[in-house]
Amino acid sequence: MDAALRGTVALVTGASSGIGAATAEALADRGAAVALVARRAERLDELSGRLRDAGATALVIAADMTDETQVREAVERTVNELGRLDTLVNNAGLMILGRAADAGTDEWRRMTDINLTGLMNTTHAALPHLIAAAADGDRRVADIVNVSSVAGRLAVATAAGYCATKYGVVAFSEALRQETAAQHVRVSVVEPGAVDTELREHNSPEVQEQLTRLFGSIERLEARDVADTIGYIVSRPRHVAVSELLVRPTEQV
């Protein structure tokens, strides 16, 4: 465990698996106390146990990111029980693919509620605490890292709804960065390419087969690769801000 984030507190959404779980481990390994937020409490308990066994501090908060009240309560519990909030990683996400003409608008609504509205609500609740941390913390800086996607830079057929949410994350992140830069609350957006996680499992078998044909021949990123990227961003010196970072498998074109 290194000491880059010692004395800080991070909140990670979507922490029950994939990039979220790996990010919680990466931040804890750098010395941060970590609030683990997701719906699947049993998964969070397992992760929390591993972190505590390694000497880290972890707080489990079961919450639905589409429920603004639960989101705000998660932020307040983090601050009340861990003492502060220095880093917010908005990672919770949903990807449902398919042609727009065949899509159910309820699927678009679910993706918007989780990928964009939930991210915005979490950020809104966390901002006062992050501003306070940047003003009085030893590091004198705080971080918001929003996990978008390559689909937030390049729109593709069969991903219209998903792309719309991820483009929204990029736009929200950049506008917020401009608002908070003078207060040393850094806002970063990370845009992963193909990652070997559970994200694709929300799709129909037909869509999953298409994804396998599209990406099956390349070596996809692992969750820890993206987590390492996030760990790098938030451990930079106060005067260094990584505003946007695109990370793809070497073979992905």
* Residues identified as active-site: 162
Least Cα distance to 23 among 239, 241, 235, 216 occurs for: 235
CA 72 to mean position of chain CA atoms: 16
Least Cα distance to 115 among 34, 42, 199 occurs for: 199
Hey, how many other C-beta atoms are within 10 angstroms of the C-beta on 3? 8
For residue 220, the 8-state DSSP code is: P
CB-based contacts of 47: which residues, under 8 Å, 6+ apart?
15, 16, 21, 24, 25, 36, 58
